[in-house]
Amino acid sequence: MGRTSDTKDKLIDSALELIGARNYNTVGVQELCESAGVKKGSFYHFFPSKRDLTLEVLDEMWNQFKTQMLDPVTQSDLSAMDKFNMLLTRAYEQHNSSKKCTGAMTGCCLGNLALELSTQDEVIRQKIEHIFKQWAKYFEGLVEEAISEGSMPENTDSAATAKAMLAYIEGISLLGKTFNEPELIRRIGDGVLKIFIKKKEHDRGNLEKTV
């Protein structure tokens, strides 16, 4: 089911752009309305508060990320490792394109809001937690694929590994934002894969020593 109004669309799109590029606390309702080209009364017709708008924005962020990034890659015929690499490549391309347009790498919008609001707004924190859990499930599926393909050790804890991968990628995004350098995603992003490939080689070496 689609959104119910062009005005509501405009407000969500405005919030995606402004909050995504900056942060939650510096973007006010008046600025959101001016950017969307709507009256303040229209804002409160659709959203009781900026928090309520932000909750819908988070859903929209996640839906866009799934449909434009995660689903096309994870449902492809690539190997699990190639899927991981493709996700990193697309993340780099997205952040690099954003920097060319704005002059700044803004980082992961979800991660930015988590850092800013997790200790300030429990409702928004829970929403972001739910999204991160869904994101980790995608990685968990890829880890299980990698195990079945022989790219990761059979004793790999897929759930814990998926969360570790998500944490690694969020950390790269934070570093890239701090240094304003999308290239970091390409330079150190594949490190998350090398960790587990080396673990497989280490486990194989230990097995050979015991034989």
Residue-wise pLDDT tens digits, 91-111: 999 999 989 988 999 999 999
Distance CA 114, CA 119 (A): 9
Q: Residues 34-61: what's their mean pLDDT?
A: 95
Q: What's the pLDDT score for residue 198?
A: 54
**Is the overall model pTM greater than 0.75, yes or no?**
yes
162, 68 contact by CB (below 8 A)? no
137-152 tens-digit pLDDT: 999 999 999 999 998 8
105, 95 contact by CB (below 8 A)? yes
Q: What's the pLDDT score for residue 117?
A: 95
Distance CA 32, CA 36 (A): 6
Environment class of 136 (CB within 10 Å of its CB; exposed 0-12, middle 13-18, buried 19+)? buried
Q: Residues 60-68: what's their mean pLDDT?
A: 96
- Please state, in angstroms and as integers, the Cα–Cα distance from residue 56 to each residue in 3, 17, 151, following that order: 11, 14, 38
Residue 161 pLDDT exceeds 60: yes
